[in-house]
Structure 1
Amino acid sequence: MKDLVIIGAVWPEPTSTAAGSRMLQLISLFQKQDYEITFLCSASKSDFSFDLSQISVKTKVIQLNDSSFDSEITALNPNVVLFDRFMIEEQYGWRVMENCPNALRVLDTEDLHFLRKAREMAFKQNRELVFEDYISDVFKREMASIYRCDLTLLISEYEMQLATETFKIDASLLFYLPFLSEEFQTNIPSFEERNHFVSIGNFLHEPNWQTVLQLKQYWKSIKKQLPEAALHVYGAYVSEKAKQLHNEKEGFLIIGRAESVADVYSKAKVLLAPIPYGAGLKGKLFEAMQLGLPSITTEMGAEAMNGNLDWNGFITSNEDDFIEKAVELYTNKNVWETAQKKGYEIIEKRFKKELYETDFMNKIENLKENLNAHRSKNFLGQILQHQSLQSTKYMSKWIESKNS
């Protein structure tokens, strides 16, 4: 039997975040190859945490900055360890290396945090991004984590290009694995059966909050042309400042958590997503394509999703264009139905699970069989494992000593 240990930043919440859905997809890929999986996490569970026991995944609460983890991971003795984001690798990677040196270490970035951070800085300073924005402390930490691992999963083709061409990371250390689609929704309501616009996104995620602020700015102009329409804004963990935007007279409705994205999307006519910055892939747009809901977004929102295929709606570059296209997509049945079909085509040609699962698992098995040779070529990783550079290790030991 093969064993995988996943060390999570949080317990997966697939109804709250795209990251939660992504984690369940990764679990499914490994289970299909007969891996026994144990999920470890130091965070507290919420009411919306997925019950991993339902899918035969063992779980255990672990302690941060505590040597008890050493005995836990030694007893599990996994073949593969998956770190959920670079911060988790910083905290536990050195312990895995010391106690299970032969385990394949895999980093799932979710998205490149340094890229999102750089774009956020440029956006908030109302200027174009420059190369120097990348070179932050987050960049240095994330890059170091990538080199310390045997394989890093990137969710976006743009991020793959950035990593290999701009920052010259050897392609053998990376693997492109986007969101995966297994099947299309059937019996989807028609154009005539739908009403209103929808927006969705976890409010704890700053780009989602900025998207809602953009929508508040645009909405009056859309509402003026479509007085019967409303905008339903869904998202987990609604903040007080978000609740203050709720205005029934304007038809700008802050709804909160969506119990079922499929139900919400099946009733709405158009998804609005004027995303100003971010990284990775946008789960809300991916799910909209799967569920037959056309969308209006920005170049940033659509980044790395449609390749050379037409978008399932419109990609806009300014406020006036966004408003015009939102009205057109909402009112024109032919344009709407064409957009829906384009979304299905993007999913079929770029995100079907069958396009990636075999290559991914072959990569994992090949690395396991040739791990020493693979690591010997990653000399930067070896340098970063050297004790003189292991600041996170000794910080953790200091914290543990202080706490005891």
Structure 2
Amino acid sequence: MFKSIKLYFRLKSLASKLRKQKKELDFTNNLKYNTNVIIIDVKLPEYDKDSGSRRLTEIIKLLAKNNIGVFLLADFKEYRFTTDYVEYFKDLGVVVYEPGVDKHGKLITKNEFIKQVLPFTDFVWLHRPEIFAKYYPIVKKNKPTVKVFFDMVDFHYLRFKRESELAKDLSIMKKADKFLKLELENCKKADKVIVISDVEKETLKEFYDEDSKVVSIGNIHQYIENENPVSFEKRKDLLFIGGFDHKPNVDAVNYLADEIMTLLWKSNPEISISIIGSNPPESIIKLNSDKFRIVGYVEEVSSYFLNSRIFVAPLRYGAGIKGKIGQSLEFGLPLVTTNIGAEGFNFQENSNIIVGNSTEEIVKNILLLYQNEEVWSKVSADSKKVIEPFSTYETEQKVLSLIK
């Protein structure tokens, strides 16, 4: 009750402020496309900060490229919309929900926005389990005939199950079971279920047998052709990248600090590592040293990929396709990861060089790639064929098969 009263006065205050600013909006003005889709996520996609946002941003670009209109709604509180990301998506031609008032001075809430644009909408793309559960009833109440997609992003049940097994914590397993129930309920209601990899599609089959509804749409990666690549000899050190709002990345960096680098330095104490990622917690910042550099958020990461000798991603739990792995492959930067990090990628004959499932194996693989130019060059050259299934063209065909 108290929260409802607070929300009421907050919205009332916001409406008053917007009226003074004369921020009157009509989200259906100047509609350009015959086919439109509403996309709802927990936030505006922060394409430069996390893999899930980067994937969704690329999907939005593909829709815009094919003359499909996008209405984009973030499940933020109304007062959190002062962000550059709004302008970024507007520049792509996306209609982005922002707080505003209608011609009668009434605040346009998120639900009002949905009601306003649904008559012009053919599909609704709900991104993540909680978003589907929250917005599916609202969407269907206002337009029962609209087709609704459930984008799992990753199989949350699987991620929490693996975390529980690693931490030996039954409370996390209870959370996993709750997500499984939620995800399966969403699957039953959705017109299409979008998974991030064929691996997760196969895992989902153990619980959900309507295979014809399930479509795999992974991350989008394009190999970067470099006419003047930095040579093996001129490269040095290791690189890790990953947003720290995602717990598996926090665990991976702690694993690097506590075990992997400690063992690696016994063989080669000169190797250092750079850790890039938004929102590092204090526990990660405290790890910073000359040889274990906590860089934090970097707007343009290319120079790190182009000058490091090896990318390292020792993920011990998680689910889905890992964007950091694909990003390393885009630059042809040889990498070392675990079976969790490698899921969804076919490294073929290089698997035993890239994938290690113990601290000793990971360190052995790092040293091999770090010291052997011939092996390094082959793994680098093979990156292009590894990410071919994640090319823009391949993903575009899958997205269009849903929409058209």
TM-score tier after normalising by the smaller chain length: 0.7 to 0.9
- Matched-pair contact (CA < 8 Å) for 1:295–1:312: no
Aligned mate of 1:61, from 92, 98, 105: 98
Question: When the two structures are aligned, how many residues end up with a matched partner?
Answer: 356
Alignment match, 2:271: 229
Question: Where in structure 2 are there 5+ consecutive unaligned residues?
Answer: 1-33, 101-106
Alignment match, 2:380: 340
Q: Give the letter aligned to residue 221 of structure 1.
A: L
- Matched-pair contact (CA < 8 Å) for 1:4–1:36: yes
- The DSSP-based 3-state class of the residue aligned with 1:136 is helix
2:305 is equivalent to residue 265 of structure 1: yes
**1:96 and 1:40, CA in 2 relative to 1: closer, same or farther beyond 3 A?**
same
Aligned mate of 2:249, from 208, 212, 218: 208
Q: How does 1:25-40 map to 2 (within 5 A)?
A: 25-40=58-73
2:239 is equivalent to residue 239 of structure 1: no
**Distance (Å, rounded) in 2 between the aligned partners of 1:138 and 1:357:** 29
- Matched-pair contact (CA < 8 Å) for 1:40–1:62: no
**1:62 and 1:303, CA in 2 relative to 1: closer, same or farther beyond 3 A?**
farther
How far residue 281 of structure 1 moved from its aligned partner, in angstroms, is 0.8
- The DSSP-based 3-state class of the residue aligned with 2:328 is helix
- Matched-pair contact (CA < 8 Å) for 2:248–2:315: yes
Post-superposition CA distance 1:202-256 (Å, at most 9, x none): 11111000000110121122123223221111110011111111122xx111111
Q: Give the letter aligned to residue 74 of structure 2.
A: C
Alignment match, 2:182: 141
How far residue 45 of structure 1 moved from its aligned partner, in angstroms, is 4.5
Alignment match, 2:240: 199
**1:238 and 1:156, CA in 2 relative to 1: closer, same or farther beyond 3 A?**
same
What's the RMSD between the two structures over aligned residues? Answer: 2.4
Structure 1 vs Structure 2: percent identity of aligned residues? 24
Q: How does 1:31-110 map to 2 (within 5 A)?
A: 31-43=64-76, 44-45=80-81, 49=85, 51-61=88-98, 68-76=109-117, 77=119, 78-110=121-153
Alignment match, 2:29: none
How far residue 48 of structure 1 moved from its aligned partner, in angstroms, is 6.7
2:196 is equivalent to residue 163 of structure 1: no
Q: Give the letter aligned to residue 40 of structure 1.
A: L
**Distance (Å, rounded) in 2 between the aligned partners of 1:24 and 1:293:** 23
2:347 is equivalent to residue 310 of structure 1: no
**1:53 and 1:142, CA in 2 relative to 1: closer, same or farther beyond 3 A?**
same
Post-superposition CA distance 1:300-330 (Å, at most 9, x none): 1101211656349510121111111111111
2:361 is equivalent to residue 325 of structure 1: no
Alignment match, 1:352: 391
- The DSSP-based 3-state class of the residue aligned with 2:233 is helix
Question: Where in structure 1 are there 5+ consecutive unaligned residues?
Answer: 366-404
2:257 is equivalent to residue 220 of structure 1: no
**Distance (Å, rounded) in 2 between the aligned partners of 1:352 and 1:177:** 11
How far residue 337 of structure 1 moved from its aligned partner, in angstroms, is 0.5
Q: Give the letter aligned to residue 112 of structure 2.
A: S
Q: Give the letter aligned to residue 295 of structure 1.
A: L
Alignment match, 1:381: none
**Distance (Å, rounded) in 1 between the aligned partners of 2:81 and 2:236:** 36
Give TM-score scaled by structure 1 length: 0.82
How far residue 61 of structure 1 moved from its aligned partner, in angstroms, is 3.4
Give TM-score scaled by structure 2 length: 0.82
- Matched-pair contact (CA < 8 Å) for 2:222–2:387: no
**Distance (Å, rounded) in 1 between the aligned partners of 2:181 and 2:36:** 31
How far residue 266 of structure 1 moved from its aligned partner, in angstroms, is 0.8
